[in-house]
Chains A and B, each alone.
Chain A
Amino acid sequence: MATESAPKSYTIPDATEGKPDQPLSQSAVSQSSRSARDVTFRVWRGDSSGAKFEEFTTKVTVGMVVLDAIHQIQAESAPDLACRWNCKAGKCGSCSAEINGKPRLMCMTRMDELPLDQPVTVEPMKAFPLIKDLVTDVSWNFEVKKRIKPFKPRKPDAPDGTWRMQQADVDRVQEFRKCIECFLCQDVCHVLRDHHKHDEFIGPRFFVYSAALEMHPLDTEDRVPDLKHRNGIGYCNITKCCTKVCPEHITITDNAIIPLKERVVDEYYDPLTKLFKIFKGK
Chain B
Amino acid sequence: MNKYETYEHDVVVIGAGGAGLRAAIEASSMGCSVALICKSLLGKAHTVMAEGGMAAAMANVDDRDNWKVHFADTMRGGQYINNWRMAQLHAQQAPDRVKELEAWGAVFDRTKDGRILQRNFGGHRYPRLAHVGDRTGLEMIRTLQDHGIHKGIQVFMEMTVTDLLLSGGKVVGCVGYDRERGRFRVWKAKAIVLATGGIGRAYKITSNSWEYTGDGQALAYRAGAELMDMEFVQFHPTGMVWPPSVRGILVTEGVRGEGGVLRNSEGKRFMFDDIPENYRSSTADNEEEGWRYVTGDKSARRPPELLTRDHVARCINREVKAGRGSPHGGVFLDVSWLKEKVPNHVEHIKKKLPSMYHQFITLAGLDITKEPMEVGPTTHYVMGGIRVDGDTQMSTVPGLFAAGEVAAGLHGANRLGGNSLSDLVVFGKLAGEHAAKWAREQGGGVEPDPAQIEECVNRALAPFSREGGENPYAIQHDLQEMMQSLVGIVRTEKEMVQALEGLQKLKARAKNAAAYGHREYNPGWHTCIDLNNLLTVAEAVTRSAIERKESRGAQFREDYPSKSEEFSTFNHVVRMGADGEMTISRRPLPPMPPELQQIIEENK
Chain A contact patch, size range: 35 or more
- The answer to whether B245 touches A181, judged by C-beta atoms less than 8 angstroms apart, is no
Q: Min CB distance, A184 to chain B, in Å?
A: 14
Q: Min CB distance, A168 to chain B, in Å?
A: 9
Please name all residues of chain A whose beta carbon is closer than 8 Å to the beta carbon of B135 when the two chains form the complex.
Answer: 91, 178
- The answer to whether B138 touches A91, judged by C-beta atoms less than 8 angstroms apart, is yes
User: Residue on A with the closest CB to B158?
Assistant: A84
What is the total number of residues of chain B having a CB less than 8 Å from a CB of chain A? 73
User: Residue on A with the closest CB to B208?
Assistant: A87
- The answer to whether A6 touches B354, judged by C-beta atoms less than 8 angstroms apart, is yes
- The answer to whether B110 touches A167, judged by C-beta atoms less than 8 angstroms apart, is yes
User: Residue on A with the closest CB to B520?
Assistant: A132
- The answer to whether A75 touches B474, judged by C-beta atoms less than 8 angstroms apart, is yes
User: Residue on A with the closest CB to B347?
Assistant: A6
What CA separation (Å) do A178 and B243 show in the bound complex? 25
Known: A87-B209, A151-B105. A165 touches B132 (CB 8 A): no
Please name all residues of chain A whose beta carbon is closer than 8 Å to the beta carbon of B110 when the two chains form the complex.
Answer: 165-167, 170
What CA separation (Å) do A162 and B525 show in the bound complex? 49
Known: A5-B354, A216-B107. A174 touches B40 (CB 8 A): no
Is the CB of A150 closer than 8 A to any CB of chain B?
Answer: yes
- The answer to whether A165 touches B365, judged by C-beta atoms less than 8 angstroms apart, is no
Q: Please tell me which one of the listed residues A92, A138, A216 contacts residue B209 in the complex, with CB atoms under 8 A apart.
A: A92
What CA separation (Å) do A79 and B464 show in the bound complex? 12
- The answer to whether B525 touches A80, judged by C-beta atoms less than 8 angstroms apart, is yes
Q: Please tell me which one of the listed residues A27, A81, A85, A151 contacts residue B210 in the complex, with CB atoms under 8 A apart.
A: A85
Q: Please tell me which one of the listed residues A87, A135, A177, A213 contacts residue B142 in the complex, with CB atoms under 8 A apart.
A: A177
Is the CB of B133 closer than 8 A to any CB of chain A?
Answer: yes
Please name all residues of chain A whose beta carbon is closer than 8 Å to the beta carbon of B133 when the two chains form the complex.
Answer: 5, 174
For A141-176 the 0/1 string (1 means CB < 8 A from B) is 010011000110100100001111111001001100
- The answer to whether B245 touches A80, judged by C-beta atoms less than 8 angstroms apart, is no
Is the CB of B249 closer than 8 A to any CB of chain A?
Answer: yes
Please name all residues of chain B whose beta carbon is closer than 8 Å to the beta carbon of A83 when the two chains form the complex.
Answer: 523
Is the CB of B269 closer than 8 A to any CB of chain A?
Answer: no
Is the CB of B280 closer than 8 A to any CB of chain A?
Answer: no
Q: Min CB distance, A188 to chain B, in Å?
A: 19
User: Residue on B with the closest CB to A170?
Assistant: B107
What CA separation (Å) do A35 and B105 show in the bound complex? 47
Is the CB of A180 closer than 8 A to any CB of chain B?
Answer: yes
Q: Please tell me which one of the listed residues A25, A86, A133, A218 contacts residue B44 in the complex, with CB atoms under 8 A apart.
A: A86
Please name all residues of chain A whose beta carbon is closer than 8 Å to the beta carbon of B44 when the two chains form the complex.
Answer: 86, 92-94, 181
User: Which of the 9-residue segments A57-65, A192-200, A234-242, A269-277 touches chain B?
Assistant: A57-65
- The answer to whether B362 touches A79, judged by C-beta atoms less than 8 angstroms apart, is no
Is the CB of A51 closer than 8 A to any CB of chain B?
Answer: no
Could you jot down 23 A-B contacts, CB within 8 Å?
A21-B365, A63-B243, A63-B245, A75-B477, A79-B472, A79-B473, A79-B522, A80-B524, A88-B210, A89-B249, A91-B138, A94-B41, A108-B363, A132-B521, A133-B521, A142-B149, A153-B105, A165-B110, A170-B109, A173-B107, A177-B138, A181-B44, A219-B105
